[in-house]
Amino acid sequence: MTLLNQFFTYWRELAKSYTTVSSFRWLVIGVLVGTLSGLIAVGFFWLVEIGKFVLQHNLAGIVSPEPAGEGIFHGPAGEFRPWLIPVFTTGTGLFTGWLVHKFIPETINGGTDGTDATINAFHNQGGIIRARVAIIRGFCSVLTIASGGSAGREGPITQMGAGVGSWLAKIFDLSAKERRILLLAGAAGGLGAIFRAPLGGALTAVEVIYREDFEAEAILPSVMSSVVSYSIFTFFYGTEPIFGIPRFSFSDPRELIFYALLAFVCAAVGWMYIRTFYFIKYHIFFPLREKIGLMWSMAFGGFAMGMIGIMYPHLAVDGIVTGGLLSGGYGWLELAILGQIPALGMCYIIVGKTLATSVTIGSGMSGGMFAPALFVGGMSGGLVGKFGHHYFPEIVTQPGAYILVGMAAFFAGVANAPIGPLIMVTELTQGYGLLAPLMLASALCLVLGRNFSLYEHQVENKFDSPAHAEDATINVLEQMHVTDFYNPSTVIVLEESTTLKALTDIIANSDQMYFPVKRADGWYVGMISIHNVRTWMFEEDLHDLVVVRDLMSRPVYVRPDYDLYQALLRFVNTDYGQIPVVAQTNTSDIIGLINRDDVFQAYAEAIAEVKGESETDSS
């Protein structure tokens, strides 16, 4: 009986600690998030590997090298049929486009990849990732990578892990702030497991959401989640790191000159990598999507990826034909570290991987940019190592080390995440022998790449994030709704094909300052501001040449059931003076306009009321 009483006493103290001690509570929740994230990572990894083995290895007869810590399926390659790769990737693009259009159309413009979607959810969506989004995107990522699309596993597993955190926050009825923390904890769990780098995964998750900041409150649950997730993952797949490589060390200070050169090379290649991706995404696939639709533009992206994959120069390893641009490419990084890829081959792979990844992800297919970025960065660093070893062999004695440093420095530059990737590389090498060159190259790349970013939804710091707006103000706007502050009325809606001349006449005879724009099929696609048109109105030579499509900016809307805080964020993010109010069941049915001044006035009156009540209570 005494033992039973002691057990209940201990349990009561434990329950009391959970409710009263914040750090203990986050440890418990972190374990739960990490457990689920780890199990998802185990299943996701298995599906990707079996898919690659069946589609590429058995059916297409293309064998890509696997790093020592991976490659769980083995067997003789099938008959060499490279033409199957474009068939697989095209089918994947078509199926992905149908699934996205049918079930999760809100993710069409979701950002760069799963990591960027997680960043967007943290800043702009209250830490919410719908389970449907995480499941469909994860499944489509399996198909993309398995069929040969140039994409990585880290982006999708980050989004799926974040989805787990968001789902648990909903189950536990946590606040928006706590939900965002769990979102990052889930992302850390997925990243730490799939990369087998628990500390690096946790730190990357909390720093990648900002350019010049990190989410300190999420560190404890993120570290716990990542450790637990990593432990579950390695229980199934072993504790060996991804790469089977020798230990590298740094001993000659003169070598820092070459590591500094590496930083400049990685920054230049990083700029090219990002510019190529954005050009292909926004100047090729966005216009193509408008013309032929989402499904067919993704199918075209899959076909283009497949053709690039089979037509680009192949490399032979032990007499077996291998696809250098297909899937993630960690096996190629290991071969490069071991000195088995010549400098010219590295140049081929840098250009080809940049193009292939831009086509794959830029077309909208699911997958991550993380692994391809490490791939391109590693090969860029490898070129510097080859150069240094060839001309200064007494200084650059380990050219393979430059590939590892290039991976971390490149990602630090393109993702503005200096600490996480650095720690990941030390975990991969199982030592701190390269710490000094890693710190130098990452810092230089971070400075050189400060004006560009791979992730579109990154913000500078907490002051620029809507997630922290409530930390500085009393969020009384959540208690008020759009339906009470907008005027239901007939709104002048423009068509994309309206000419500048007709638009000038419409503006002259209307009191509206902002005009929604619809396509011919009635779909709401943009906004026209009178301020943007003003500089063109008096150019009579352009009146019949310029149309509304050339002048409009991105669409935004609110629904009557939205609270005024959501409306305020949309005004702040767009700088519009008016925003369309749409019907709850149809976002293209515009039923009125809400004015920015009305929202600001409501906010001022509510704050004044709260202050007045506060002063009355104190007196």
Say whether both 308 and 191 belong to one domain: no
219-276 pLDDT per residue, tens? 888 999 999 999 999 999 888 888 878 888 888 888 999 999 999 999 999 999 999 9
Segment 434-443 shows an average pLDDT of 88
Residues near 318 by Cβ (< 8 Å), separated by ≥ 6? none
Q: What is the mean pLDDT of the chain?
A: 82
Query: Is 441 inside a domain boundary?
Result: yes
Say whether both 513 and 579 belong to one domain: yes
Reported as a pLDDT band with limits 50, 70 and 90, residue 107 is confident
Rounded to the nearest angstrom, the gap between the alpha carbon of residue 424 and the centroid of all alpha carbons in its chain is: 18
422 DSSP β-pair partners: none
Say whether both 459 and 583 belong to one domain: no
Residues near 239 by Cβ (< 8 Å), separated by ≥ 6? 196
Question: What letter would DSSP give residue 152?
Answer: B
- 268 burial via Cβ count (<10 Å: 0-12, 13-18, 19+): middle
Predicted confidence at residue 596, as pLDDT, reads 84
- pLDDT exceeds 80 at position 318: no
Reported as a pLDDT band with limits 50, 70 and 90, residue 18 is very low
Dihedral sign, CA of 424, 429, 430, 434? negative
Q: Check which CATH number belongs to the domain holding 283 and give it.
A: 1.10.3080.10
Say whether both 223 and 274 belong to one domain: no
**Worst-scoring range by mean pLDDT, 48-57, 80-89, 506-515?**
506-515
Distance, in Å, from the CA atom of 83 to the CA atom of 100, rounded to the nearest integer, reads: 26
**Worst-scoring range by mean pLDDT, 50-54, 105-109, 206-210, 377-381?**
105-109
554-581 pLDDT per residue, tens? 888 888 888 887 888 888 777 788 888 8
Query: Is 607 inside a domain boundary?
Result: yes
Say whether both 511 and 442 belong to one domain: no
Domain assignment of residue 222, given as a range: 2-237
Query: Is 580 inside a domain boundary?
Result: yes
58-80 pLDDT per residue, tens? 898 887 778 877 778 788 878 88
- pLDDT exceeds 90 at position 383: yes
Predicted confidence at residue 320, as pLDDT, reads 44
Distance, in Å, from the CA atom of 304 to the CA atom of 89, rounded to the nearest integer, reads: 9
Total domains in the fold of the chain: 3
Predicted confidence at residue 187, as pLDDT, reads 92
Last residue of a domain, one of 187, 206, 237: 237
Question: What letter would DSSP give residue 240?
Answer: -
Q: Measure the CA dihedral 359/82/403/205, to 10°.
A: 50
Q: Check which CATH number belongs to the domain holding 542 and give it.
A: 3.10.580.10
Distance, in Å, from the CA atom of 380 to the CA atom of 408, rounded to the nearest integer, reads: 11
Residues near 43 by Cβ (< 8 Å), separated by ≥ 6? none
Say whether both 453 and 494 belong to one domain: no
Reported as a pLDDT band with limits 50, 70 and 90, residue 185 is very high
Query: Is 37 inside a domain boundary?
Result: yes
Say whether both 454 and 481 belong to one domain: no
Segment 39-47 shows an average pLDDT of 94
